[in-house]
Amino acid sequence: MGAAGNEIEIGKKDTAAEAGGDTLAAALELLWSERPAPKRGPKPALTLETIARAGMGLADADGLAAVTMQNVAAALGYTKMALYRYVPGKVELVALMTDIGFGAPPALPSGTEGWRPSLELWARRLFERFVAHPWTLEATVGIRPLGPNEVAWLEQAVQSLAGTGLPGAEKFDVAATLAGHVRATAQQSVGGDGKPEQAFHATVGLILDRHQDRYPALSAAFAEVAAHGGQDQALEFGLGRILDGVDLHIAATRERPRR
Region near a second copy per CB under 8 A, out of 78-86, 105-113, 123-131, 231-239: 231-239
List of residues 6+ apart from 62 with CB closer than 8 A: 193, 194
Compare residues 50 and 203 and give the one whose CB is closer to DNA: 50
Quote the least distance from Cβ 150 to DNA, whole Å.
Answer: 21
Site for DNA in 130-149 (CB under 7 A): none
- Is the Cβ–Cβ distance between 151 and 104 less than 8 Å? no
- Work out what residue 42 binds among a second copy, DNA, none; the CB cut-off runs from 5 to 8 Å by kind: DNA
- Is the Cβ–Cβ distance between 56 and 101 less than 8 Å? yes
171 binding a second copy? (CB under 8 A): yes
Q: Which of 60, 35, 59 is nearest to 48 (CA)?
A: 35
60 binding a second copy? (CB under 8 A): no
In sign, the C-alpha dihedral spanning 172, 24, 29, 141 is negative
Q: Over the range 225-238, which residues count as b (16 or more CB within 10 Å of their CB) and which as e?
A: beeeeebeebbeeb
Region near DNA per CB under 7 A, out of 44-52, 107-115, 124-132, 141-149: 44-52
Site for a second copy in 175-194 (CB under 8 A): 176-177, 179-181, 183-185, 187-188, 190-194
15 phi, psi to nearest 5 deg? -110, -60
116 binding a second copy? (CB under 8 A): no
List of residues 6+ apart from 172 with CB closer than 8 A: 154, 158
155 binding a second copy? (CB under 8 A): yes
Looking from the CA of 253 toward its CB, the CA atoms found within 13 Å total: 15
Find the binder of DNA among 18, 20, 28, 80 (CB under 7 A).
80
Compare residues 18 and 117 and give the one whose CB is closer to a second copy: 18
81 binding a second copy? (CB under 8 A): no
- Is the Cβ–Cβ distance between 171 and 161 less than 8 Å? yes
46 binding DNA? (CB under 7 A): yes
Compare residues 51 and 147 and give the one whose CB is closer to a second copy: 147
172 binding DNA? (CB under 7 A): no
Q: How many CB atoms lie within 10 A of CB 34?
A: 8
d(CA 49, CA 45): 12
- Work out what residue 2 binds among DNA, a second copy, none; the CB cut-off runs from 5 to 8 Å by kind: DNA
Residues that bind DNA (CB under 7 A): 1-2, 5, 10-13, 15, 36, 38-46, 67-71, 73, 78-82, 84-86, 89-91
